[in-house]
Amino acid sequence: MNILVFGSKGLVGSSIARRFNSSSNYNVIESSREDTDLFSLSETSKKINASNPDIVIIAAAKVGGIYANNTQRFSFIIENLKISMNIFESLINFPHIKIVNIGSSCIYPLTAKSPISEESLMTGKLEPTNSPYSMAKLSSLEIAKTMKEQFGHKILNIMPTNLYGPNDRFEEFNSHVIPGLIYKMHKGKIGKFDEVEIWGSGAPLREFMHVDDLSSAIEFLIETNSSHELLNIGSNESISIKELAKLIKKVVNYEGELSFNSSYPDGNPKKLLDSSKLNSLGWQSSISLEEGIK
């Protein structure tokens, strides 16, 4: 089968490409901003027509951590909306192509009961620091729903928990929490800093999953021909940011102290996904947090 992966150079897309390239059952067509401008409807349509895919996986997105989401709010909603709109509109005349739309757990309300089930969707207000990104991802779900209803497309929307792994963005201001902490600890170790500052109080509880577990779940769902429209994908384990920082400090072997700066926002105090629907189908995550960080 031909699988077209949009966003194939990023954290998620590169893992998906590695996973399916390792199987002789699939011909993977990798696409990134180097070959296709997803802000252009004509370029997006041209890529899909030329690739003749059986499956399209949408892994392209503008992503970042809490700081980036909160300081680039306009860019996060506009760019992610454009990507979703152009890909879905380009696929209107191809109802035979299966679409895997990768969203984010931030689509769920701030007050959703933890662990958060798929039924919590649209039941409350969003977490304010990343609401523009969340709104863009929610819009992609509504677009997918209307495409299925009006044109008969088969679309699987998957909502992964917080992801980390190879090809992530390792920097101070625009990264997600794990690569950001690895960057800081590494910099502190090399520079022999007495102290590394961690943004926030360290109290929030988060669930993390290695990106290769996400790719494993996507392969599982494609091969089992899942008919679900929306599925959570998580590790079923939570850890506080403080304990996560201590774990990364241990793995990196940074010997200085950790300082938590509460003037930075914490975001959602607790976020853990309910992945029981997916687990009941026979899939479980397999990479432990410490193993994944190493």
Structure token pair of residue 243: 């304990």
Predicted confidence at residue 64, as pLDDT, reads: 75
Q: How many residues does the chain have?
A: 294
Predicted confidence at residue 63, as pLDDT, reads: 81
**Of 17, 19, 42, whose CA–CA distance to 32 is shortest?**
17
* Straight-line distance from the first to the last Cα atom of the chain, in angstroms, rounded to the nearest whole number: 34
pTM of the full structure: 0.93
Assess contact for 231 and 221: CB atoms under 8 A: yes
HSE on the CB side for 87, CA within 13 Å?
A: 33
Predicted confidence at residue 122, as pLDDT, reads: 95
How far apart CA 209 and CA 275 sit, in angstroms, is 12
Structure token pair of residue 235: 């590790």
What b/e sequence results for 253-280 when a residue is b if at least 16 CB atoms lie within 10 Å of its CB, and e otherwise? ebeeebeeeeeeeebbeebbbbbeebee
Model confidence pLDDT, tens digit, residues 40-81? 999 999 999 999 999 999 999 988 777 777 788 999 999 999
Catalytic residue among 67, 108, 133, 254: 133
Predicted confidence at residue 127, as pLDDT, reads: 87
Predicted confidence at residue 217, as pLDDT, reads: 98
Amino acid letter for position 174? N
Low pLDDT (below 50) residues in the chain: none
Active site residue 183: no
